[in-house]
Amino acid sequence: MEVSLETGIRSPENKLIRDVLIYVAMAWSIFQLYVSSPLVLEFTPWMNADVVKRVHVSFAGFLA
């Protein structure tokens, strides 16, 4: 019951799709950690708030 509440309708049977969803979710988590660190200004000075918002929405839209 709890698993179905957490995953919703997303219960992929295909291993490739399941792996892609897991890796994209992990990449989103790493992106969030990177954006919140001071390293973002040193390595990617072009990444301003607008770029971060667009990438964030892209991850969310893909995983939805």
pLDDT 10s digits, 16-34 = 988 998 899 999 999 999 9
Q: Between 5 and 12, where is the model more confident?
A: 12
The pTM score is: 0.70
SS3 content of the chain, % helix, strand, coil (to 5): 75, 0, 25
Contact 40, 34 (CB under 8 A): yes
Residue ranges covered by each domain of the chain: 13-63
Angle at 43 between CA 25 and CA 26, to 5 degrees: 10
